[in-house]
Amino acid sequence: MKTWIAFWSILLKDMRNYYLKPPNISWGIIFPFAWTLMFFLKSQNPVDIREILPGVMAMSVLFGTTSMLAVTITFERRSRSFERLLLAPISLNALMLAKTTGAIIFGMINAFVPVIFAAFMTDLRGIAWVSVISSVFLIAVTSTFLGLFIAVSVKEVFEAQTFSNFFRFPMVFLCGLFIPVQALPVFLRPLSYALPLTYGADIMKTAINANGDISQWLSFSVLAGYSILLFGLSLRNINKKWIY
């Protein structure tokens, strides 16, 4: 019972204190929409909203979750409030799940903001919403744990944002969000298939437009595997660098 009380207290505190911080607004919400607007301005032909929707949703999740963790974890580590959390009657695993659940929720909310706008501009009938929601959740979990891994590896918020961009921007171009993986040079394709977002974006392409290229079971398995790996590496860094 104490574990659940501590879990929800930490989660609600983060939601109240960090959701509307400037880095979250700029990177998590404004940037994906600015990127989408660029497609409308640069394209010589009418833009197919449903065609770009999976990419916009995946990018919204990626930037929202990683930005969230860059603020919460690094800020609390610098202010030493994270050390007080370690005294809470809760295990380290549960503590870090509490710290990351807010980012997962934030990322999932971000993902469906483009859907609301798309609903006014195109017909969204025929979408496999169960697959979409499942893929959004797994992308949010994987991206959150990637953000956690980055956040526990640096000391300052700006370092976390810079380090995050080292992973985020290549994913925009290599994960099939807007450029199909098959259209990339052959030597880049192995790197694309090594990135978890490739599999999440492919699930959404299948669910929304029925034009994915990877088995959905493989994609779900890869995303789950990356989530476990990244969470485990993050806990290892915390135990090694923060707990003496």
Domain ranges of the chain: 2-241
Contact between 150 and 69 under an 8 Å Cβ cutoff? The reply is yes
Residues 146-158: what's their mean pLDDT? 79
Q: Does residue 41 register a pLDDT over 70?
A: no
Tokens of 190: 């192995």
Contact between 197 and 143 under an 8 Å Cβ cutoff? The reply is yes
In 3D space, the residue among 125, 146, 147 whose CA is nearest the CA of residue 24 turns out to be 147
Comparing 10-14, 34-38, 199-203, 206-210, which segment has the lowest mean pLDDT? 34-38
Residue of higher predicted confidence among 192 and 151: 192
Q: Does residue 1 register a pLDDT over 60?
A: no
pLDDT recorded at residue 228: 94
Long-range contacts of 156-159 (CB under 8 A, 24+ apart): 156/74, 156/78, 157/23, 157/70, 157/71, 157/74, 157/75, 157/78, 159/74
User: pLDDT digits over 72-109, tens only?
Assistant: 777 777 767 766 776 667 777 888 888 888 889 888 88
What is the spatial distance between Cα 94 and Cα 223, in angstroms, rounded to a whole number? Answer: 21
Q: Tell the residue number behind the tokens 């961009």, with chain if given.
A: 165
pLDDT recorded at residue 179: 84
Give the predicted TM-score (pTM) of the model. 0.87
Phi-psi region of 81 (alpha: psi -120 to 50; beta: other; left: phi over 0): alpha
Q: Which residues contact 229 (CB under 8 A, 6 or more apart)?
A: none
